[in-house]
Amino acid sequence: MIRRIATLVALLPAAALAAPEAVPSPSNLEVRPAALEFNWTPMVMPDGGHTAFASLNYLVAIDDAWSIGPGVYGTAKGNYGGIFTVGFTGQRRWRLSEETNVVAGLYVGAGGGLSSEDMRFGGGLMLRPELSLRTRFGAWYGGVGFSQIRFPSGNVKGDVGLAVTVGRYLDFAGHASSDAGRSAHADRRTGLGFDEIALTAGGERPSASSRDRSGKPYTGAVGKAGADLRQYGADGRWWGIEAAGAAQGGVDGYMEVLGQVGQDWSVFGTPRLRAGVQAGLGLGGGGNVDTGNGWLLRAGPNLRWITPWGPTVRLDAGVTHAPSGEYTARFVRAALALPLDRVPLPSGEDAGGTVRVQQLGASVMHIPRMRFKDGTEESVTHLAFVMARDFSPRVYGVAQAGSAALGRAGAYSFGLFGLGVQSDPMWGGLRLGAEGLVGAAGGGGVAVGGGAVAQLEAWAQWALTEGLRIRAGVGQFRTLRSDDQAAALTQVQLGYAFGTLQR
């Protein structure tokens, strides 16, 4: 199957890599309200221990009452570090006053971790309904309400209890996807508001004091693969979000999600070569790594070179530490970053840019015969968040992050990134294409070797409206460092496409 898809990709013309000359377009920009939201949900686990799920959700308003967006939940209390889910939240608001709303929400996600005879996540599907009261304070809002976390096909189910919410209001700005390839202006960042996306790869060397969850010393090297998003400010200041998973070292199933801040300065007066420092705070665990309650700290130096051609090459180093666990490791990693947008220049100085299509969406992927470590093979269905960005009319970059939702692979998670090629729109808005992705996966008892995996897919996509698109594809999923997996897959995606500026 992989050879057949690779042949299809090779047959597409080399001209697909060339971007057409931008043609003028009016600078029509649609701006929707958005929010970055943090939730804290305490619960009691089946083994009697107390934990709390912390979450980060990005929500975009559909209209005055409804909003929807992706989110990630992870345990952040007790000795449960490493339980993660990835999914989507939908919210309905009822306004009580200018600053106060009643909000009903539902999160649907997939994941798990730290499974045992006493604690089972089933297929991995997680539900979190919520009813809360929220009040705005300038650009921020806070709220308290009732919620419940449960995994319907397992025995992990919390009681209905109090949950706390803190959020920050943002804007989601985008051009029409039909303006792709045209020149335009915007007085703000477009899309998700990040300036670059990077693919990362590197390794960690645990200290002699590091232990696994059984208390045994753990000193083997850990290879990781992941991605991050950054937004840069004035004078080299930046902040971002990163996610990575184990791809080598026998700890498949390890995952981490961190927020980062940093500062760098030009070296030898060369603005393209910059050195600085960075620090991160977030959650991580799984793969039998003892991260305690899941909180991670990270700090160290970094070096980046902004190439004259657009991409940026970075080299990071430092130390990762789990304060409540027994894991400390030195790390080094390299990153290749691709530009998405940048802060607009003052009016009259900004030359604008070219509109490129970006797509955010949800994916349901089915693998009919996935092999487990105990030698059995069963079907597994995954739920994932997908982000794609056109680099030219024919070539795009794509990233996926998701987990098992149906089957018996609860706690299996993956993160993939890669490139795709696509045809021009044909009759009825139909497009054909193919893509190849690599990344890290593990957990849930699935056999994935060291955790490095690949996925190839051929697909057909239909435009339902200006922005709404549905896609169906077939392909193959396989492990890279072993012969554990070589399975067929089918996938359906529902996405929202919009135009962002490549300045």
The highest-confidence range among 115-129, 183-197, 290-304, 436-450, by mean pLDDT, is: 290-304
> Which of 75, 77, 141 is CA-nearest to residue 114?
75
The rounded distance, in Å, linking the Cα atoms of 17 and 57 is 34
Task: Identify the pLDDT of residue 347.
Answer: 64
Pick from 475, 470, 468, 473: nearest CA to 496: 468
- Whole-number Cα distances in Å, 307 to 17, 160, 226, 269, 292: 19, 53, 22, 16, 40
Question: Sorting pLDDT into bands at 50, 70 and 90, what band is 22?
Answer: very low
HSE-up of residue 50 (Cα within 13 Å, Cβ side): 2
Angle at 190 between CA 186 and CA 195, to 5 degrees: 110
Please state the rounded mean pLDDT for residues 377-398.
95
Q: Say if CB 82 and CB 444 are below 8 A apart.
A: no
What are the tokens at 338? Answer: 């691709």
pLDDT tens, 31-66?
A: 999 999 999 999 999 999 999 999 999 999 999 999
Read off the tokens for 50: 């107390």
Supply the pLDDT for residue 351. 67
CA distances from 143 to 161, 197, 213, 363 (A): 14, 32, 36, 30
The pLDDT of residue 348 is 63
Lowest mean pLDDT among 180-184, 350-354, 422-426, 446-450: 350-354
Specify the pLDDT at position 214.
87
| Phi and psi angles of residue 427, each rounded to the nearest 5 degrees, phi first | -60, 140
CB atoms within 10 A of CB 330: 14
Q: Which two tokens stand for residue 419?
A: 């490139």
Which pTM value belongs to this model?
0.90
Residue with tokens 């490549």: 502
Which backbone phi and psi does 5 adopt, to 5 degrees? -70, -40
- Kindly tell me if the per-residue pLDDT of 12 is higher than 70: no
Strand duo 23-24 + 182-184: pairing: parallel
Q: What average pLDDT score do residues 385-406 get?
A: 94
In whole angstroms, give the CA distance from residue 333 to residue 224. Answer: 9
- Please list, in sequence order, all residues whose beta carbon lies within 8 angstroms of the beta carbon of residue 380, skipping any fewer than 6 positions away: 123, 366, 367, 370, 404, 406, 407, 408, 409, 412, 446
- Per-residue pLDDT for 113 more than 70? yes
Residue carrying structure tokens 């700890």: 251
Going from the N-terminus, what domains does the chain have, and what CATH number goes with each?
A: 32-172 (2.40.160.20), 194-339 (2.40.160.20), 353-502 (2.40.160.20)
So what's the pLDDT on residue 300? 98
Q: Flag whether pLDDT at 26 surpasses 90.
A: no
pLDDT tens for 258-289 read 999 999 999 988 899 999 999 999 999 998 99
Residues 6+ apart with CB under 8 A from 284: 81, 82, 254, 255, 256, 257, 258, 291, 294, 296, 320, 322
